[in-house]
Structure 1
Amino acid sequence: MRNLILSVALAGAALSAFPAAAQTTGAPFTGLRIEGVAGYDALKDGHGSSDGLVYGGGVGYDVQLNNLVVGAEGELTGSTTDTRTDNFVSQGDRFRVGMGRDVYLGARVGFPLNPTTLAYAKGGYTNARIDTRYTSGTTEVRDHTDLDGFRLGAGLEHQMGANTYIKGEYRYSNYGRANGSVGSYDIDADRHQIVAGVGMRF
Structure 2
Amino acid sequence: MRTMSLAAMLIASPVALAAAAPAFAQATDPVFTGPRVEGILGYDHVGAGSSVDNDNGRDDQSIGGLLYGIGAGYDVAVGGALVGIEGEITGSTAKSDRRDYSADFGFGRVKQGRDLYIGARAGILATPETLIYAKGGYTNARLNVLAGSTSQTTDTDFDLDGWRVGAGVERAVGPNSYAKVEYRYSNYQRGQVDYVNGATSSRFDVDTDRHQVVASYGFRF
Q: Which bracket does the TM-score occupy, shorter chain normalised? A: 0.7 to 0.9
Q: Residues 62, 140 of structure 1: CA spacing in aligned structure 2 closer, same or farther, 3 A cutoff?
A: closer
Q: Distance in 1 between matches of 2:154 and 2:116?
A: 25
What is the identity, as a one-letter code, of the residue corresponding to 2:33?
T
* Structure 2 residue aligned with 1:71: 84
How many residues are treated as equivalent by the alignment?
A: 172
* Alignment match, 2:35: 32
Q: Secondary structure at the match of 2:68?
A: strand
One-letter code of the match for 1:75?
Answer: E
Equivalent residue number for residue 145 of structure 2: 132
Tell me the amino acid that sits aligned with residue 190 of structure 1: D
Establish whether residue 188 from structure 1 lines up as the match of residue 191 from structure 2: no
Amino acid at match of 1:39: G
- Once the two structures are TM-superposed, the CA of residue 37 in structure 1 deviates from its matched residue by 0.7
Task: Note the residue ranges of structure 2 that are not aligned, 5 or more in a row.
Answer: 1-27, 53-58, 103-107, 195-200
RMSD: 2.2
After the TM superposition, which residues 50-199 of structure 1 pair with which residues of structure 2 at under 5 Å, given as runs? 50-88=63-101, 96-135=109-148, 141-181=154-194, 182-199=201-218
Structure with greater helix percent: 2
What's the % identity of the aligned pairs? 50
Once residues 51 and 26 of structure 1 are traced to their aligned partners in structure 2, the CA distance between those partners, rounded to angstroms, is: 37
Amino acid of the structure 2 residue aligned with 1:164: S
By how many angstroms is 1:72 displaced? 0.2
Q: Secondary structure at the match of 2:174?
A: coil
Cross-structure match for 1:201: 220
- 1:141 deviates by 4.2
- Point out where structure 1 has 5 or more consecutive residues left out of the alignment: 1-24, 90-94
Aligned to 2:3: none
On the 8 A contact 1:153/1:172 being kept in 2, the answer is: yes
SS at match of 1:135: coil
Deviations 1:32-70 (A, max 9, x none): 000001001101115211111100010000001232000
Q: Assess, with a 3 A threshold, how the Cα gap between structure 1 residues 76 and 27 changes in structure 2: closer, same or farther.
A: same
